Amino acid sequence: MNPRLARLQPYPFARQRELFARIEPNPRLRPISLGIGEPKHPTPAIVRDALAASLDGLASYPANAGSDALRQAIAAWIARRYGIPQPDPATQVLAASGSREALFAFAQLVVDATRPDPLVVCPNPFYQIYEGATFLAGATPYFVNAVAGNRFVPDWERIPDEVWRRAQLVYVCTPANPTGAVMDIAQWETLFRLSDRHGFVIASDECYSEIYFDEAAPPLGSLQAARALGREGYPRLVMFSSLSKRSSVPGMRSGFVAGDAALLQDFLLYRTYHGSAMSPAVQAASVAAWGDEAHVRDNRRLYREKFDRVAPMLEGVLQAPRPEAGFFLWARTPIADADFARGLYRDYNVNVLPGRFLAREAHGVNPGLDHVRMALVPPLEECLEAAARIRDYVRAL
């Protein structure tokens, strides 16, 4: 067996199942899960109809890069969304079977394990795919703590030069999971300057970019920042996005990568062997999804209503600041996060994820300690009931 498998840690939800294994939740209350960030809003009719109308495509092998129609639809969406010139669909866009698959595979492309002690820089807390991809590529993660004192954004300038000299890849998550923090133009400028100096590649995970609260102020994207800073061709930069959150279709496994054409040419070669091409029927449904914004605005409205109603209920009992974007509340707990989650599950039948499971100890601290992640993905009524139970639980502590 590949010895690198031994470096993988259990996934957060496996650790949570173990944490809850011997607990009998309160049987008088219906279960409510805020633990998994799985969108629960109805799949838009435009996507369902396009998928059903394209089932004849199942008789054909799909193109690894995605169909011309899909890549064109994605490129056109990028231009509309970020107000930048349309990327070249033929060279600067690739379809992917969701951002998770692509984020993992990208590290296998970028990391050169023959170089001494390769590093991959990751935010902390983080999406665990970054760590697993790093280990299986033969590198070691270097975690950069994202804490409240720095607006929950990694402080790139505090990373020592000896780390940057070994770094081959940097994972960025903006808006961030779990904090909802968004990188601003100054932070992007810093990271681009460091990339120019040291030569590392940037993988920007932007799968939460379309869940925000002010229609007039969408989150800044990496390609948008690069264009604003005069970085023609997006050198050493690739963005990753998905329909899962934007269009509430996590089961479609539809996303894309876009950016540096030279990197994408090599990534396509890797994916030709990796064998993860998207179904033609899913590609057709994805074209419809990327071409329509009405269902996305409605999706945002539903999340905005939940945050507008839930946040005031938790004020005064928990430090749970409203995120800049995304559908998570990153709440500070009055007791240890694992104990908080166990007690809430036992007494009130509400499932939340302990923050320690989303982070690693780095530089003497685990930035997930004494936090829990709450995903406001159930229907409004369930979110309100969960918030009321959480409020009662905290008051009883």
**Are residue 179 and residue 259 in the same domain, yes or no?**
yes
Sign of CA dihedral 294, 175, 353, 322: negative
Identify the pLDDT of residue 103. 97
Among 88, 92, 73, which Cα is nearest to 257's?
92
Domain extent, residue 212, equals 46-292
Beta strand extents in the chain (DSSP E only): 32-33, 93-96, 119-124, 140-145, 167-173, 201-205, 237-242, 255-259, 328-332, 350-351, 353-354, 371-375
Identify the pLDDT of residue 274. 85
**Are residue 326 and residue 386 in the same domain, yes or no?**
yes
133: CATH: 3.40.640.10
Domain closes at, from 269, 292, 315: 292
Domain closes at, from 292, 325, 340: 292
Domain closes at, from 260, 292, 324: 292
Cis, bond preceding 178 (omega within 30 deg of 0):
yes
**Are residue 149 and residue 217 in the same domain, yes or no?**
yes
**Are residue 240 and residue 284 in the same domain, yes or no?**
yes
Identify the pLDDT of residue 124. 97
**Are residue 256 and residue 351 in the same domain, yes or no?**
no
CB 284 within 8 A of CB 48: no
| Alpha carbons 10 and 127: distance in angstroms, whole number | 13
Helix/strand/coil for 141: strand
Three-point CA angle 220, 226, 232, nearest 5°: 150
Annotate 109-137 with DSSP letters as a single string: HH--TTSSS-EEEEEES--THHHHHHHHH
**Are residue 318 and residue 360 in the same domain, yes or no?**
yes
To which residue do tokens 């690894």 refer?
64
**Are residue 51 and residue 150 in the same domain, yes or no?**
yes
Give Rg (Cα) of the chain: 21
Report how far apart, in Å, the C-alpha atoms of 289 and of each of 85, 87, 147, 245, 283 are: 21, 19, 35, 12, 10
**Are residue 232 and residue 303 in the same domain, yes or no?**
no
Helix/strand/coil for 332: strand
Helix/strand/coil for 268: helix
**Are residue 24 and residue 140 in the same domain, yes or no?**
no
Give first-to-last CA distance, the chain, whole Å.
47
For 283, the token pair is 């590609």
Number of domains in the chain: 2
**Are residue 257 and residue 121 in the same domain, yes or no?**
yes
**Are residue 272 and residue 314 in the same domain, yes or no?**
no
Q: What does pLDDT average to in each consecutive run of 10 residues of the chain (397 residues)?
A: 93 94 95 95 96 94 94 98 98 95 96 97 97 98 94 94 98 98 98 98 98 97 98 98 97 97 97 88 98 98 98 94 97 98 98 97 96 98 98 96
pTM above 0.95, yes or no: yes
Identify the pLDDT of residue 276. 81
**Are residue 29 and residue 92 in the same domain, yes or no?**
no
